[in-house]
Each structure stands twice: as structure tokens, then as C-alpha cells.
Chains A and B, each alone.
Chain A
């Protein structure tokens, strides 16, 4: 029988502002934060550190001064590895791909235990300056960037098109922000935990129409260490774990948009990767107990809930407004608080997805526990969901 991989433990820094300005006398540095999380996560896993064969890092932001961060960390942790030590970069999907790097080393027999880990520090760099870099990451530098597109401008155009085609109000879409804040209020790792109302959301300054400040992601620092293991190793710990049941990936061969007109709000990559992950797991959307999706803006959560088959097409915003995706609803989505409220340290955001899924599947999510949570669905993406990576995980207790 082929190997199976389990997510056994996690440790994470609460999302927020951690990075210190360059001139601060006392610095908060990435490697110290992450080393401490590694020790916490491995202790929680109850595994032998000598079984760790691979370190799969999400690449740091360019603002991190320590370069060759992965090998520096292998040194800091004094952790010889027989699998691989690597740093992965894949836009918003960065941590999703690093997660896969760890999983693959276990599947290939190169490691019994692998760590997927990383740190994203960026908040000491101003938004206007940061956008000078991020605008070149989401568009054609010569044929789109000169017009002033920003990463979330594409999502805003999804919203405009969706509202136009399905007759959906801005309020229905904005309800996602209120719901996610309610979830975040119950999550100690969340950056914003104070409850908000629809009036609060609509009163915020416009960022990119029709999305205001509470409907787009904040800028966040964060750090996570995940411990993955062969299922045999996980079982031997005697602790509950999350088994990876299915995986799907699809890149549509387009960067933001291509010259060939398509239905932009259908998120074809999420549809295709979702179908592949369901098929691999032998389950369907109705079997899923909760979903933790990568959705930088409210509208993206709406669209991906439809693309993954959790909501009928054109009904995602209404479903959210009617509490179907709230804790206690038919299919809770983003019980962590999502990217708007839990926070969005972009290069490690998909790691936080797995942190939430593990807590839920282990039954340790406290007040935000999804009752009888057994099957979870996750997504990571890049661009305007031009690519998507979907996983199905199952609780084993």
C-alpha cells in the first residue's frame, strides 16, 4: 500500500504587526521567532527530532535581511537532513507549495517526518512602497502595470462583474466580512477580533471599488511551523491527527487575464483543482464539514465557495448573508476569521489555513469548534485564482 501523509502538529505566531523598523534599537527577527515555533510544534507532535528528514520553507519577503534563510535555519536548529532543505516561492500559493514539498518528501520515502514552515515579515514597510513591488507581481509589467493595477484591483473587477451578472448587492458580498470577524473574535491567532456590523463595513474608506477597508486583507506579519509525518509515525504518537485524503492543482495558463475572453468569476482553476481533490479523496462537496479557503477579499470567498461546489453558482453571497457559511451554518467557511480578519501574511497564509484545519479536526478549536468536524477542504491560489491548490483532510482520532 502506498504511503499516506498526516498533519500532526502546528505552532503559529498570532497574525499582526511584529516587524520592527530598521532603526529600532531592539529588533524582532524572523529566525528567532521561527526557531521557537519549531521547538513548540515538534514538542506538541511527540515525535523524535532525529526523524525529521526535510525542511520545506516558504520563502521570506524581500524585506528579510537574512538571505539563504532555509540553510541558515537548518544551522540555527542544528538539524541535519537527509531529505531536502528548500525554500519555495509561488506568489500567494507559496506556503501551499512548501506544504506540498514536505508532503512529497514523505510520499517519496525521503523523510519520515518533514517540517513545512516559514515567516512573513513585512509590516514595517509602508503600504505605498510595498505596492510598488506587489503591483509587479500581479500583472504584466509592461502591458498592465503602467495603468496602475494593484493586486486586489483584479478581485474588485470580479466583484463588479459578479454583481452585474447575478444582480447581487454590495451588502450581500460585504456580509462575508461581518461573518469572518465574528469567527476571528473566537480565534487567538487572529489579527482583528473586535466584532463589527454591516454598518461598520459599509462606512469604511474605499480601497478599490466596490471593496472598502474591511473587505480587503490587512497587511500582516506571521510565522508557522507545521509537522507532517508518515501515517505510521502519526499513529504511533497516539494523538489525533489530520490525514491528507486528496489533492488537486490546476493552473489555467493565464496570468491575471489572457487575451481569450472567459467567464472570469467562474474561477476555473478552483473548479478543476477542487474536482481533482474530491475525486482523489472519493468524496463530494456535500461530504465536507467545513472549508478554510484562501480568499483575500470578501468577493473571492463568495466565488471560491461556488467554484468548489459548496454553494450554487450565483448564490454564494446570498448564502453568506443568510449565515449558511457561519459557524453553526450548513457549511462553515473560514472559521479562522479568513484573510480579512485572521490576517494575511501572504507568503505563509496557506500555513495558517492548515493550522486552523488541524485544530478543528483535532477538536481543539474551543468556542469556534465545528461540531463533529471530520472532513475539511482547503484552498490556496495565486493571481486572480489563475491557479488553485486544493486539499481534503480527514480527522483521525
Chain B
């Protein structure tokens, strides 16, 4: 297990759909693994996990576990939210560059300043109805994000 799994009460506001291709990604999150697809021909990563390599169109795809360590490329706080997210607003979202050279978009936890280029870590979120993931400032303590460690 490389990333922390935090338990969150309730259901996800807008649950992702799961496919045979992406199921290992979502299942891995609940075990503390953040993994994505990597091409066995050109060696490049793809995220989200894909059925072919977007770079060279090879079908020789393997799962690869990432460290979950990265830097904050950009971030914003959303005040005007779609209906499904109204109750959570304002909330922070971010673009994170992982140390393996993979860029992704996610929620940013924590209430402190979101200093760009500062280190962040991915965490898995275990809701009643399934997993999501998020980033939080590296070294940020759990209390400051209002979450408890997952029991057991």
C-alpha cells in the first residue's frame, strides 16, 4: 500500500462508471494502490487507464503502480457548483503533476494555502458506495482535512 485510504461517510456526489478496463484502477484504490496503464511497447504512461496506448496505439498494455507523490500545477476553489455538488461548495480542485510524469485532475483537500509547485500526495477516498481519490498537501495532517483514518 503506497497511498493512504481515508474513509468518507455517505455517497459520492457523481459516481464514475466502471468498465472491465478501469475496474482494476478503482479496486486498487481501496487497497491503497494508485495504478495506471503503461505501454509495453513505447513505455509511456496513460491516464486515465486506456484500452490502447494513446501515444503509439499499441494494445500491449500493462498496469503500473505510481507513488502518489507529485506537485501542485494549478488549483482553484469552485463557489458556483453544479446541482450535484451544491452541498459541498465551496470546494477545491487541482491539476497535479505526479513524479513519474503523469498529469491528472482531482479534488484538493485541506484548508491551507494552495501554493503552486508545492508537493502534494494522492489519497484514496472510500465512500459508502465506492472509491474516489484526491490530493492533499504533502505533510498535511489528517485532522486539518476533517477525515479519520479508515478503521481496520
Instruction: Give the B-binding residues of A (Cβ under 8 A).
Output: 127-129, 131-132, 134-135, 139-150, 153, 156-161, 164, 205-210, 256-261, 264
| Number of A-B contacts defined by CB within 8 Å | 122
Chain B residues whose CB sits within 8 angstroms of the CB of A156 once the complex forms: 76, 78
Q: A143-B48, A147-B93, A259-B103 are in contact. Are A132 and B84 (CB under 8 A)?
A: yes
Q: A141-B17, A147-B107 are in contact. Are A128 and B77 (CB under 8 A)?
A: no
CA of A159 to CA of B76, assembled, Å: 9
A-B contact pairs, 27 of them (CB 8 A): A128-B86, A129-B83, A131-B81, A143-B16, A143-B47, A144-B105, A146-B15, A148-B13, A148-B14, A153-B76, A157-B76, A159-B76, A161-B74, A161-B116, A164-B74, A164-B117, A206-B77, A209-B77, A256-B105, A257-B105, A258-B54, A258-B103, A259-B36, A259-B45, A259-B104, A261-B73, A261-B101
A207 and B80 contact, CB distance less than 8 A: yes
> Which residue of A140, A161, A207, A208 contacts B73 across the interface (Cβ within 8 Å)?
A161
Q: A128-B86, A157-B95, A259-B47 are in contact. Are A207 and B79 (CB under 8 A)?
A: yes
Chain A residues whose CB sits within 8 angstroms of the CB of B91 once the complex forms: 148
Chain B residues whose CB sits within 8 angstroms of the CB of A257 once the complex forms: 95, 103-105
B89 (CB) vs chain A CBs: closest residue: A148
Q: A132-B82, A150-B82 are in contact. Are A145 and B104 (CB under 8 A)?
A: no
Chain A residues whose CB sits within 8 angstroms of the CB of B22 once the complex forms: 142
Chain B residues whose CB sits within 8 angstroms of the CB of A145 once the complex forms: 14, 16
Query: Which of A141, A157, A205, A256 has the largest number of chain B CB atoms within 10 A?
Result: A157
Chain B residues whose CB sits within 8 angstroms of the CB of A146 once the complex forms: 12-16, 132
CA of A156 to CA of B74, assembled, Å: 9
> Which residue of B80, B106, B116 contacts A160 across the interface (Cβ within 8 Å)?
B116
A260 and B79 contact, CB distance less than 8 A: no
B82 and A261 contact, CB distance less than 8 A: no
B16 and A153 contact, CB distance less than 8 A: no
Chain A residues whose CB sits within 8 angstroms of the CB of B48 once the complex forms: 140, 142-143
B83 and A131 contact, CB distance less than 8 A: yes
B93 and A205 contact, CB distance less than 8 A: no
Q: How far is the CB of B151 from chain A (nearest CB, A)?
A: 24
Instruction: In the A-B complex, list the 4 residue pairs whose CB atoms are closest, starting with the nearest.
Output: A131-B82, A142-B16, A157-B74, A156-B76
A259 (CB) vs chain B CBs: closest residue: B47
Q: A142-B17, A208-B80 are in contact. Are A148 and B74 (CB under 8 A)?
A: no
CA of A386 to CA of B83, assembled, Å: 26
Chain A residues whose CB sits within 8 angstroms of the CB of B102 once the complex forms: 259
- 7 further interface pairs, Cβ-Cβ under 8 Å (given A153-B76, A257-B103): A134-B82, A135-B82, A148-B13, A148-B78, A148-B91, A205-B79, A208-B77
Chain A residues whose CB sits within 8 angstroms of the CB of B103 once the complex forms: 257-261
- Tell whether B88 is near chain A: CB-to-CB under 8 Å: yes
- Among B42-61, those with CB < 8 Å from A are 45-48, 54
> Which residue of B74, B86, B105 contacts A147 across the interface (Cβ within 8 Å)?
B105
B79 (CB) vs chain A CBs: closest residue: A206
B92 (CB) vs chain A CBs: closest residue: A209
Chain A residues whose CB sits within 8 angstroms of the CB of B46 once the complex forms: 259
Q: How far is the CB of A78 from chain B (nearest CB, A)?
A: 42
